[in-house]
Structure 1
C-alpha cells in the first residue's frame, strides 16, 4: 500500500498515541479493560518465549549432566529420579500456559460486554433524542461494535500464540525425555 493511502486510513500517523486514545475512547471503558487483559496475555507469552529460549536450554543441560554423572542408571530408584526430573521440567515448561488460555478466552467476552454496553448507550440516546435519525443510530451501532472486533482480533492472535507455545513446550519436553533416556 502506498504511504498516502496508509496515512489516509490512519494506519500511519505522526501522533499514533492520540489515535490510539481516540480509538479506545470510541470503544468505551470496556475497551480499556480489554487492553489490560491483552497486555497481560502478551507479557505472559513473552515470558514463556524467553523461558524457552534462554532458561530451558540451561535446565535441560543441567539435568543431562546430573543424569550422566550418576553411576547407576538401571535401578527402579534411578528411573524414578529421572521421571521426577522430567515431570518437574514439564511443569516448568507449561507454567502460565493455562493463564494465557484463560486470558484469550476472556477477550471475546469483554468485547461482547463492550458491545452490549455500547448498545445500551445507543438505545439511551434514541430514547432521549428520538429514533428518527438513522445517522445517529448507525454511528452509535458502529462504535458499539468496536469492542467486539477488538476482542475477536485479540482472541485470534492469542489463540495462535497459545497453540504455538503449547506445541513447542510439548516438543521440548519430549526432547528432554529422549535425551535423558538415551544417556546410559
Structure 2
C-alpha cells in the first residue's frame, strides 16, 4: 500500500510541476487511447462478422452482373468502408492536437517565468524553476502522448483500407 501512496504523490507532483495544461493533455490522451482500443477491438471482433454478412448477402443473390446488383455491391462495400474508418479521423486529429497542447503548456510556463522575472528580477533562479518546469513538462508530455498514438493511428488507417479491399475481393463479380 505504501507504493500506491508514493506513486500517487509522484503523479501529483508531476501534474503540479507541469501546470494545468497537463490535465488537458491527459484528457485527450485518454480519449485517444479509448478510440484506439475500440478500433482494435472492432477489427478483431466485429469486422469479420460484418464482412461475412456482406458476403452472404452477395452470394445469396442470383444476379451479379446487372446494374442493380452492382449498386448493391457498392452499398455493401460502402457500409464496410464507413464502419472500418469510424473514429480514425478523430485518432489522427488527437495525435496532431497533443503536441499543440504541449506547446500551449510551454507558452504558459514561459509566461510564469517572465512574471517571476518581472517581480523578482533574474537573480532568483529558484523562483524561475517552477515556470521552466511548467514549460518543459507539458511539451514532453504532449510529444510522448502523440507518439504513442501515431503508430496506431497509421496502422488502424491502413487496416481499414485493407479490410475494404479484402471485402471488395470477396464480393467479386461472377
Tell me if TM exceeds 0.5.
yes
Instruction: Give the distance between the partners of 2:160 and 2:104, measured in 1 at CA.
Output: 33
Q: TM-score, normalised by structure 1?
A: 0.87
Asked if residue 48 in structure 1 is aligned to residue 45 in structure 2, the reply is no
Distance 1:38 1:134, change over 3 A: same
Residue 145 (structure 1) aligned to one of 111, 127, 136: 136
SS at match of 2:165: helix
How far does the alpha carbon of each residue in 1:38-92 deviate from its partner, in whole angstroms, 9 at most, with x for none? Answer: 1101101111111111111110111111111111111121111001110111011
Secondary structure of residue in 2 paired with 1:145: helix
Paired residues, what number? 172
C-alpha contact 2:108 2:134 (8 A) present in aligned 1 = no
The corresponding residue for 1:114 is: 105
Runs of 4+ in 1 over 4 A off after TM superposition: none
TM-score (norm: length of structure 2): 0.91
Aligned residue for 2:84? 93
The residue that corresponds to 1:172 in the other structure is: 163
In structure 1, runs of 5+ residues without a counterpart are: 1-11
Q: Which of the residues 59, 66, 70 maps onto 2:50?
A: 59
Deviation at 1:129, TM superposition (A): 1.9
- Is residue 37 of structure 1 aligned with residue 28 of structure 2? yes
Question: Could you say which residue in structure 2 is the equivalent of 1:16?
Answer: 7
Deviation, structure 1 residue 136: 4.0
Stretches of structure 2 that go unaligned for 5 or more consecutive residues are none
